[in-house]
Amino acid sequence: MSQTDDAPRTEAIPGARLRWWTELPLILLVYGAYSAGRLLARGDVSTAVDHGLAILRAEKAVRLNLEHPLNRLFTREAWIGVPADFWYASLHYLVTPLILVWLFRRRATVYRAARTWLMTSTLIGLIGFTLLPTCPPRLLSQGHGFVDTMAQYSSYGWWGGAASAPKGLGGMTNQYAAMPSLHVGWALWCGIMLWRHGRSPYAKAAAVAYPLITTIVVMGTANHYFFDALAGVAVMGVGLLLTKPVMRLAARIKDRVNTVLAGGSAAAPSATRSSIVSGECQTSPGERIPRQRKAAAPHDSGDGAAAPAR
């Protein structure tokens, strides 16, 4: 019963046509555009600081300033702060691609929509970085009570004191791309994929734990405000709503390109297949048309023409 139910769904979505050598360049292209845009969209430092302070004031006004107690805990307890820094600096680069590969190999029928959702949300996040450069809590002045755990525990990892990038490369990252938090957004995407398509109880547990712990980590390490995390969730929601329209648009563009390419390549074959018609004689191209003799009309010239039969 389950096999017959699954068959139509598998055929309805052309997952079998997916090829890794076409998917990988597409993903790398989007991620490269995201990284380059994130780097270029630095904005003015004073503006970024103003945005960060405005977010902090808004959180305090509604009593959702969760970053301070978490940051004090991570700063005081190294056994929490060090793993949290490793979590922040590495897992979003590892878990998200692994979930993509897993969907590609094991859940091909849902991969295309899941990939489109992730990419669309990522590009929306890039728009947020560009329009709203935001100073993260760790870069505010000391009077605001935050400690940069990445700098405090930099001797434990590969990152430098300036950013979560490798030592000496902090200047190559945009440290004011804090709103929205795509660490949280990507973790939420991974959690939803694991919850919907994972079959084991471990997958279900990871689906809940991964985005929840990531949200705590980004605040405890003073890399994001709580509102940054909420914005990351909102970005994924908008990306989900846009997934089907984006897929339809991509399909139309692909069809248009294929039509143009097919039209150019089909012009010559159509001429080759066309036939030359002369009167009632049809021949293939290149074949000579024999000169046709006109039938002689019967007459009485005495030239030996056969007489009509009697």
Report the pLDDT value the prediction gives residue 158, as an integer from 0 to 100.
77
Answer whether residue 268 shows pLDDT above 90: no
Report the pLDDT value the prediction gives residue 92, as an integer from 0 to 100.
87
- CB distance 228 to 134 below 8 Å: yes
Residue 124's nearest CA partner among 236, 243, 253 is 236
Q: Is 238 helix (H, G, I), strand (E, B) or coil?
A: helix
Overall size of the chain counted in residues: 310
| pTM strictly above 0.85 | no
Answer whether residue 160 shows pLDDT above 90: no
List, in order, residues 6 or more apart from 124 with CB less than 8 Å away: 235, 238, 239, 242
Residue 213's nearest CA partner among 307, 84, 73, 97 is 84
The mean-pLDDT minimum among 78-92, 107-121, 163-177 falls in 163-177
pLDDT band at 272 (very low <50, low <70, confident <90, very high): very low
User: Which one has a higher pLDDT value, 100 or 283?
Assistant: 100
Average pLDDT estimate for 45-58: 92
Please tell me the distance from the alpha carbon of residue 223 to that of residue 53, in angstroms, as a whole number: 14
Which of 10-14, 18-22, 104-108, 295-299 has the highest average model confidence (pLDDT)? 104-108
Q: Cα torsion for 148, 80, 93, 18, to the nearest 10°?
A: -150
Q: Is 161 helix (H, G, I), strand (E, B) or coil?
A: coil
Mean pLDDT over the full length of the chain: 78
Report the pLDDT value the prediction gives residue 40, as an integer from 0 to 100.
59
Average pLDDT estimate for 123-143: 89
Element (H, E) at 282: strand 281-283
Report the pLDDT value the prediction gives residue 78, as an integer from 0 to 100.
94
Which of 95-99, 128-132, 160-164, 191-195 has the highest average model confidence (pLDDT)? 191-195
Residue 146, Cβ density class (10 Å: 0-12 exposed, 13-18 middle, ≥19 buried) = buried
User: Which one has a higher pLDDT value, 278 or 35?
Assistant: 35
Element (H, E) at 266: helix 226-273
Alpha-carbon distances of 294 from 202, 274, 282, 291, 303, rounded to whole Å: 90, 27, 18, 9, 18
pLDDT band at 26 (very low <50, low <70, confident <90, very high): low
List, in order, residues 6 or more apart from 228 with CB less than 8 Å away: 55, 134, 136, 178, 179, 180, 181, 184, 218
Q: Residues of the chain with pLDDT > 70: what percent?
A: 66
- CB distance 10 to 109 below 8 Å: yes
Answer whether residue 66 shows pLDDT above 50: yes
Q: Which residue's structure tokens are 């709580």?
A: 226
Report the pLDDT value the prediction gives residue 289, as an integer from 0 to 100.
47
Cis check for the bond before 69: say yes or no (omega within 30 of 0): no
Report the pLDDT value the prediction gives residue 159, as an integer from 0 to 100.
73
User: b/e string for 263-283 if b means 16 or more Cβ within 10 A?
Assistant: eeeeeeeeeeeeeeeeeeeee
Tokens of 21: 């050598």
